[in-house]
Amino acid sequence: MREQGFRDGDVEYDTRSGQPQQFEQWVAEMVARKPAVLVMGSTPMVNAALKQTSTIPIVMVMVSDPVGNKFVQSLARPGGNVTGIATLHETVLPKTVEMLHLFAPSASRVAVLVNPVSPSTNVFWTSSESALRTLGQTAIRIDASSEPQLTEAFARMKTEGVQGVVVVPDRIFFAARNRLAALAQEYRLPAVYPVREHVLAGGLASYGPSLGAQARASARYVAAILKGAKPADLPVEQARNFELVVNRRTMQTLGIKLPTAMPVDEVIE
């Protein structure tokens, strides 16, 4: 935000962890403060924001399928009070599956960890299951909608005999990234995540958009709106900065070597 000329006090950060049924109340509290712009970092939060306001500009970040979710009319012409960055994770997940396959080529059963209450779950599951089937692997859907449920989720993975894990994008999983990484190591399961921050927390590897790049892009949208641009006329940008990140220490813990065919962008020591 400083790159766009904003100073301390111009931006109010509101970071919370909770369940989807709380989102509308949170957004109502934000709207009551009459902000010039709302920046929302997940599909459920944008959905909650649209239920609270049709006039305050909303800049979305880390949102998948904004057209399908009816946040915008089209990527080129949003047409309402929402614009921002579309991640289109459903098109990225096949690459994530491919990365896991390079780490664990002999894995025949792979867990796909999803949040059943997320509006993107069906799209993420379908994309992951199809990619795994193409590689000759069986996808096992594992649900968890809160951090406490992750312990049970990994216990079920053991019961199901899975040999690898694909973690789909979700704000609950992001908030619980330290716990996720610890459980994957405890059960000695190679797991691939959607963003770099999971790898910083001890996850094996990630493939997905750069959160830093998306944050900078969102700041440009905010600056444009405050200068008079209307969200309805600002085309939605598709995430372009994708990165493959691996954690060397976790590889050593799991006894995994870096595949020679893997084009790594960053190795976390």
> pLDDT tens digits for 197-216?
999 999 999 999 888 888 89
Residue 42 has pLDDT above 90, yes or no: no
Residue 14 has pLDDT above 80, yes or no: no
Among candidate residues 205, 193, 190, the one with its CA nearest the CA of residue 263? 205
The reported pLDDT for the residue numbered 23 is 83
The encoded tokens of residue 9 equal: 């006090």
Instruction: List domains and CATH numbers for the chain.
Output: 2-88+211-240 (3.40.50.2300), 89-208+243-268 (3.40.50.2300)
Rg (CA), the chain: 19
> pLDDT tens digits for 230-264?
999 999 999 888 999 999 999 999 999 998 888 89
Question: Following DSSP, what letter does each residue of 126-181 receive, concatenated?
Answer: HHHHHHHHHTT-EEEEEE-SSTTHHHHHHHHHHHHT---EEEPP-HHHHHTHHHHH
Q: Does residue 42 come out as left (phi exceeding 0), alpha (psi in the -120 to 50 range) or beta?
A: beta
Among candidate residues 63, 97, 123, the one with its CA nearest the CA of residue 191? 97
What residues does 206 pair with on adjacent strands?
193, 245
**Cβ-based burial of 179 (10 A; exposed 0-12, middle 13-18, buried ≥19):** middle
175: Cβ–Cβ under 8 A, 6 or more apart, which residues? 17, 147
Total-model pTM: 0.85
> pLDDT tens digits for 160-178?
999 999 999 998 999 999 9
> pLDDT tens digits for 87-125?
877 788 999 999 999 999 999 999 999 999 988 899 999
Cβ–Cβ < 8 Å for 125, 111: no
